[in-house]
Amino acid sequence: MRTLLDVLQIPRFSDLTLLTEPSFAKLPLDSIEISETPDISFYIPENTFLLTTAMIYRDDQTKLFELIDSLQEKNAAGLGIKIGRFIDAIDQRVIDYANKVKFPIVQIPLSIPLGSLLHQMLNFLWDKKAEQLNYALDIQRRFSNMLVNDVSMARFIADFGRLIKTPVILVDPYKRVQASSKHFSNTSKPAEYYIDQLEQLDPDFVKKKNDSVLINDLDQKAFLVSYFSVEPNHYFPHSLVVLNSEKIPYPVSNFALEQATLVLSFMLYKNQKIQESFDALKTDFFNRMIEIQQEPNQEPRDWLDLGRTYGLVKARHYRVIYAACQQSDLDHSRIKFQEEVSELSFNWLNDKLSHHIRDVSLFKMKDPAHFAIVSQHKEEQLADILENVATDLSQRLNIQLQFGLGNVYASIEDIGKSFIEAKTAFEEMHLLSKVPMIYQYQQKGMRSLFEKMGHSDITYFCEISLKELAYPKEPAMIELRKTLKYYLDYQCEIARTAKALFVHRNTIKYRIEQCSSIIGKNVHDPGVSLDLRLALELSEENNT
């Protein structure tokens, strides 16, 4: 960005005299215009330096006050007045007024034609802009070659920092340093030190298009930090942070920085799509494995060999954790937003869990917000690890994670069982009045098969199966029911039943015959026996 003061310091413009305070001439300068009309401010763009002979003001220069006010309101860069043709000198009152309103006035000598001065100044501005543009295009070509040659993100950031001779940091959506230039290898403080300061001053800096703030260096001296949004994702972008941005050497321009962030966005997007393709293959493999393992009479398969590419290893413990993510946000209903939340959650779990759990492998489910985590080694502190990882993500991005835990199995052939348990635990936890973050699968008995049946249906089944023994009130009938239950529990062995009830064997025989008579069926029939066991179990609560 060039200012009027910069132009006046060029040797070829040394005959021009700045009559007001130099600090007023630090306004941006983008264009030059010549005019003698008093309403010119309506027809010129901002940041224009106006040249004039002040012909219409020769009788009363104080009328220049109005022109100065209109130009200042237009954010003009300044006013150049040629002397010697219509006015011999610029009135001191005009200079005083310009100083008062902080607007720059430049005196142009008679020897310089305004037309020639216009062309010289425009050529100077255009040459500088062309140089900046060419430099930016050179940067784009260089970075495009890096993109084609698939250089790493660390290499890209290191080269960019070397190009602009300024420390550079790439920050991911979690506000973590993803890569930094080589400048930090020679300092006592890492890149994270400056990002922590930046986050304290501007907690939402990652989401901003571009901005600048002052932070302190190691000597507690303030310096400028600028940051630019890098958007492979719409709702959760990365951020390119440039330290000492005011010291970036010429001819690096904002356009060059924008080109760098654009190419960087392409690199991140390409890497993201490659990873998504691999994750899709993992999902297909995992779903197929679960389906096959649930089929009856399945043929043996070498799941270790088939799943080696996807992180499966030989181990003594296999356990599936069913995970899901959600975020409370105004944009939560947007599909793109949900996809980005899901991707961020999956990547977070993939990165964090690999540091705490040996040989862990993650798989996306058909529902993009749900994942399967396969833990392949025994981990005593699993619940604590999951809670810490989930809490950290919630604090960073307000994304909540929940987990359903399956049981541990010794064979890879049983991953399907652990998956069903984990998913069941996840679904059951949402039926609780207070939904926990982590829920362990509870082993179920035969009673659980009837949990979703209505009370009247269960009562009907019990009464049809047990008749008067379903809900007895008389002591004799209660004793018969008790004998029948013990008899069936001891696999219809009379001796063991008699011993358990402290009665004679013949007493047991007699009571079982009575039970058969009441029920109207042979209690030794396998089908009848199963119905009786179920009915006794289901009616137990009303008989205790």
Examine the pLDDT at 450 and tell me if it is beyond 80.
Answer: no
- Does any domain span residue 294? no
Predicted confidence (pLDDT) per residue in 12-70, tens digit: 788 899 999 999 999 889 899 999 999 998 888 899 999 999 999 999 999 999 999 99
Examine the pLDDT at 329 and tell me if it is beyond 80.
Answer: no
Could you tell me which residues are beta bridge partners of residue 79? 50, 105
* CA–CA distance, 371 with 352 (Å, rounded to integer): 15
Position 56 scores a pLDDT of 93
* CA–CA distance, 385 with 379 (Å, rounded to integer): 9
Domain's final residue, options 244, 269, 294: 269
Residue 365, C-beta contacts closer than 8 angstroms, at least 6 positions apart: 283, 287, 371, 372
Same domain, 121 and 134: no
Position 433 scores a pLDDT of 86
Position 350 scores a pLDDT of 94
**Other CB atoms within 10 A of residue 219 CB:** 6
Same domain, 226 and 254: yes
Same domain, 349 and 312: yes
Position 215 scores a pLDDT of 86
User: In this structure, which long-range contacts are made by residues 280-288, counting pairs with CB atoms below 8 Å and at least 24 apart in sequence?
Assistant: 280/364, 281/310, 282/310, 282/363, 282/364, 283/363, 283/364, 283/365, 283/366, 285/310, 285/363, 286/310, 286/363, 286/372, 287/365, 287/366
Q: How many domains does the chain have?
A: 4
Could you tell me which residues are beta bridge partners of residue 80? 51, 106
Examine the pLDDT at 248 and tell me if it is beyond 60.
Answer: yes
Instruction: State percent of the chain over pLDDT 90.
Output: 58
Residue 425, C-beta contacts closer than 8 angstroms, at least 6 positions apart: 322, 404, 405, 406, 439, 440, 441, 442
Core vs surface per residue 509-524: b (16+ CB within 10 A) or e: eebbebbbebbebebe
- Does any domain span residue 234? yes
- Does any domain span residue 376? yes
347: phi then psi, degrees, rounded to nearest 5: -65, -35
- β-strand pairing of 48-52 with 78-82: parallel
Rg over alpha carbons for the chain, rounded to the nearest Å, is 40
In angstroms, the Cα distances linking 81 to 54, 89, 106, 346 are: 6, 9, 6, 66
Determine if the peptide bond prior to 296 is cis (ω within 30°). no
Per-residue DSSP letter, 300: P
Smallest CA-to-CA distance from 243 within 189, 204, 207, 203 is with: 189
Predicted confidence (pLDDT) per residue in 110-145, tens digit: 989 998 899 888 877 877 666 666 676 777 777 778
Predicted confidence (pLDDT) per residue in 272-306, tens digit: 999 999 999 999 999 999 999 888 777 788 999 99
Examine the pLDDT at 453 and tell me if it is beyond 80.
Answer: no
Give me the chain's average pLDDT, please: 88
- Does any domain span residue 544? no
The mean-pLDDT minimum among 344-348, 371-375, 401-405, 426-430 falls in 426-430
- Report CA dihedral (299, 304, 306, 310) to the nearest 10 degrees: 140
Question: In 3-state terms, what secondary structure has residue 424?
Answer: helix
Same domain, 137 and 207: yes
At 180, the amino acid letter reads S
Look up tokens 């220049």; give the residue: 64
Examine the pLDDT at 211 and tell me if it is beyond 90.
Answer: no
Position 544 scores a pLDDT of 54
- Domain range spanning residue 257? 129-269
Predicted confidence (pLDDT) per residue in 174-190, tens digit: 999 999 999 888 777 89
Examine the pLDDT at 327 and tell me if it is beyond 80.
Answer: no
* CA–CA distance, 228 with 211 (Å, rounded to integer): 7
Same domain, 489 and 464: yes
- Does any domain span residue 276? no
Look up tokens 């994942």; give the residue: 371
410: phi then psi, degrees, rounded to nearest 5: -90, -15
* CA–CA distance, 167 with 262 (Å, rounded to integer): 19
Position 540 scores a pLDDT of 81
Say which CATH number the domain at 107 has.
3.40.1390.20
Same domain, 396 and 438: yes
Say which CATH number the domain at 356 has.
3.30.70.270
Same domain, 320 and 391: yes
Same domain, 9 and 105: yes
- Sign of the dihedral through C-alpha 477, 479, 480, 484: positive
Same domain, 458 and 406: no
- Report CA dihedral (504, 510, 512, 515) to the nearest 10 degrees: -140
* CA–CA distance, 142 with 126 (Å, rounded to integer): 24
Predicted confidence (pLDDT) per residue in 142-168, tens digit: 777 887 788 888 998 998 888 888 899
Higher pLDDT, 205 or 329: 205
Position 244 scores a pLDDT of 84
CB 500 within 8 A of CB 514: no
Where does residue 31 rank: exposed (0-12), middle (13-18), buried (19+ CB within 10 A)?
middle
Predicted confidence (pLDDT) per residue in 1-10, tens digit: 688 998 898 8
Question: Which pTM value belongs to this model?
Answer: 0.63
Half-sphere exposure of 335 (CA within 13 A, CB side): 1
Say which CATH number the domain at 501 has.
1.10.10.2840
Domain's final residue, options 108, 126, 144: 126
* CA–CA distance, 29 with 36 (Å, rounded to integer): 20
* CA–CA distance, 349 with 36 (Å, rounded to integer): 69
Domain's final residue, options 111, 126, 141: 126
- Does any domain span residue 280? no
* CA–CA distance, 49 with 108 (Å, rounded to integer): 13
- Does any domain span residue 277? no
Same domain, 8 and 120: yes
Position 459 scores a pLDDT of 86
- Does any domain span residue 45? yes
Confidence of residue 334 (pLDDT cuts 50, 70, 90): confident
Same domain, 164 and 237: yes
Position 289 scores a pLDDT of 94
Same domain, 313 and 439: yes
